[in-house]
Amino acid sequence: MKGIIFDLDGVLVFTDKFHYQAWKYVADELGAPFDETLNNRLRGVSRMESLEIILSNAALRLSKAEKERVAEQKNNSYRKLLQTLTPQAIDRDTRKTLNLLRERGLKLAIGSSSKNAPLILEKTGLAEFFDAVSDGNNITHSKPDPEVFLKAAEFLGLEPYDCTVVEDAKAGIDAAKAGGFTAIGIDDAAGYTKCDQVINRLSELVDLIWGVNYEYKNDSFTA
C-alpha cells in the first residue's frame, strides 16, 4: 500500500447534524416529509441527488431552475453552520493516526463528493495532512461512481491497486470497489459485505497496514 484515500464527512469529521438541519429547513419549506432515517439515505450522494430523494416523497414537482435554487439554499444554510467548526471538532485519535501514516511514508488524499470539502478542511485544520483533495468541485459523477477516488489516486500519482479507501457509506464502498481499490468500512459501512476490511476507529488502520498491535496512549502510538 502506498496511499490512503479518505472520505471526509463521517470518517474524519462529522457534520451530519449540519446536513440534517439544512435539509430539514428546506424540506419544511417545501412541505416534504423529512426525518433522520431519510437523512441517512443522503450519505455519500451529491446535493442534487439528495434533493431528488427528498422530492420523491413530496407531492410537488419542481423545474430544473427551482431545484437549483433549492439546492443552493440548502448549501448556503449548511455553509453557515460549517463556519462554527473548529480544530477541536477533530479528536486526537484522528490527528495522531493521520500524523503516523504520514510519518510512515504513506500518501494521503481526500475523496469526497462534497463541494464544501476545502472549507471543512480549512476550518478543522486538517488540510496540512493531505497530499491531494478530490471533491465535488472536480468531478462530474458522484458515488457510487468511482470517479472521485480515481481522481484522488491520479492526483497522488498512484494506481488504484496501490491505494486503500476508507469509507463510512455503502455508496462509497461501491465506488471504491468499482474503481479497483481496497475498501475499508467504518461506522455505517462496517457491516457492508463488500468491504475488504472493517475498523471501529481510525487508529485501527495502523494495525491493519503494518500488522503490529499499536496501543494509543498519551497522544502517541507505542508497539
Angstrom distances, CA of residue 134 to CA of 5, 6, 59, 79, 182: 9, 10, 36, 19, 18
> Which of the following is catalytic: 9, 135, 145, 174?
9
Beta-strand (E) ranges in 141-219? 163-167, 182-186, 197-199, 215-217
Q: Phi-psi bin for 54: left (phi > 0), alpha (psi -120 to 50), beta? A: alpha
- Please, which residues bridge with residue 109 across strands? 5, 132
Q: How far apart are CA 88 and CA 187, in angstroms?
A: 21
Rounded to the nearest 10 degrees, the angle between the axes of helix 64-82 and helix 47-55 is: 120
Beta-strand (E) ranges in the chain? 3-6, 107-111, 132-134, 163-167, 182-186, 197-199, 215-217, 220-222
Q: Which of 182, 148, 134 is nearest to 162 (CA)?
A: 182
- Annotated catalytic, 196? no
Please name the amino acid found at residue 193: T
- Annotated catalytic, 207? no
> Which of the following is catalytic: 7, 135, 145, 168?
7
Please name the amino acid found at residue 70: V
Catalytic (active-site) positions: 7, 9
